[in-house]
Amino acid sequence: MPRVPQGLYDRLVAVRRELHQYPELSWQEGRTAGVIANFLHGLAIQHRTNVAGHGVVADIPGASKVPCVVLRADTDALPIQEETGLEFASVHEGVMHACGHDGHTTMLLGAAALLSREKDLPAPVRLIFQPAEEKGAGALAMIKEGALDGAGLIFGGHLDRHYYPGTIVVSDGPVNASSDNFSIEIIGQGAHGARPHESIDAVVVGSLMIMALQTIVSREVDPARPSVVSVGQFHAGTAPNVIAGQAKLEGTVRAQDPAVRRQLLSSVRRIAESIAQLHGAKIHITVTEGTPPLVNDSVMAGLARRAAIEAVGEANVLPLKTANMGAEDFSYYLEKIPGAYVRFGSQVPGREGYPAHSSKFDFDEEALAVGAAYYAAVAKIAGQQLRQQAASS
Ligand code: NI
């Protein structure tokens, strides 16, 4: 099993369990950053702390005049009361590492340990320990703080309970969806419940709007391109016998393709405006753009696949079964530089039914060794690519 020396594996398990026991919410990852900084200090790796809040950026030297390869982990936990019964379960009331970011952070520390032993890396390696992934905001904040300055390529990954431990999932194309929210205020005309002819009923207009929005995915988008339009909130009214003059709908839009993303948002606007006009109501629409879709390009996925084969052998490198409609803010980095995002198999027997963000989520710790070996390998393989490009330009 161990894809890293046994002594390092034991240390990684200890670090992961400590991070798991003391989880911290988005933007509050101070203790976690301390654990990271301590580990890096022990390896004599230069690092900056307090980047975009509690982010940590470390640099491992490599060939000069070559851009660096970036490896990225996320560090935050979720507002969930843990119910795993693990001996290292969270001691922070209502906070839990339920998405495996304790594992992601630990893998990257493992890679740091492996890479710090290397003498002549083909390119410098930068490690980004990013806060606030769960808010979809940490990546942008790190980019604003210069985390990608001098960077050539970037790689990241996520634990995945759908695959066995010891596997790495690499794919071209969509991996995660975009996530945008919309809010529609409907302004009609309130009236006595017994005098509907004097009203423009915002509840009726809102209801029609919700039903019409269902036809965007079912009738307008290519069925081969996964997409979601969900209305999660509908607020209106004050009394049984009063026709509501105002209503508010709020929803989310998900797509794996940038063109579909634009199509969904423009359809939401068109349908909402048309339904309002049909009934003489007015609307205000606000769209809050969130994370872009996460799409691997094929060349970068090829580099990732070579590294995965090196780490776990070809038989254990799997294609992605289905892309996830959840969001992942790694996509902001990919808007700036090329890279790829993989998944690390981490299924625990008996816990298959507990997905990420569940109070009973756990992952197989073998993934810590797999992740460390993969990241170290991809840093070297992608580094060789960058060095060749630098030499030929
Ligand atoms: Ni996550």
Distance (angstroms) between ligand 1 centre and the Cα of 187 equals 38
Q: Which of 84-98, 223-237, 343-357 shows the lowest mean pLDDT across its residues? A: 343-357
Q: Identify the domain containing residue 95 by its residue range.
A: 6-175+293-392
Compute CA 210 distance to the chain's CA centroid, rounded to the nearest angstrom.
Answer: 28
Long-range contacts, stretch 281-285, CB < 8 angstroms, 24+ apart: 281/186, 281/187, 281/188, 281/200, 281/202, 281/205, 282/186, 282/187, 282/188, 283/184, 283/185, 283/186, 283/187, 284/184, 284/185, 284/187, 285/182, 285/183, 285/184, 285/185
Asked if pLDDT for residue 295 goes beyond 90, the answer is yes
Distance (angstroms) between ligand 1 centre and the Cα of 301 equals 20
Mean pLDDT for 44-62 is: 98
Considering the domain architecture, whether residues 166 and 27 belong to the same structural domain is answered as: yes
Distance (angstroms) between ligand 1 centre and the Cα of 344 equals 12
Distance (angstroms) between ligand 1 centre and the Cα of 184 equals 29
Considering the domain architecture, whether residues 162 and 185 belong to the same structural domain is answered as: no
Domains identified in the chain, total number: 2
Considering the domain architecture, whether residues 262 and 330 belong to the same structural domain is answered as: no
Residue 1: inside a domain? no
Considering the domain architecture, whether residues 305 and 224 belong to the same structural domain is answered as: no
Distance (angstroms) between ligand 1 centre and the Cα of 353 equals 17
The structure tokens listed for 165 are 């431990």
Q: What is the pLDDT of residue 80?
A: 96
Distance (angstroms) between ligand 1 centre and the Cα of 76 equals 9
Distance (angstroms) between ligand 1 centre and the Cα of 384 equals 29
Distance (angstroms) between ligand 1 centre and the Cα of 276 equals 38
Please say which residue of 259, 288, 317 terminates a domain: 288
Give residue-wise pLDDT tens across range 100-111: 999 999 999 999
Considering the domain architecture, whether residues 31 and 59 belong to the same structural domain is answered as: yes
Give residue-wise pLDDT tens across range 184-241: 999 999 999 999 999 999 999 999 999 999 999 999 999 999 999 999 999 999 999 9
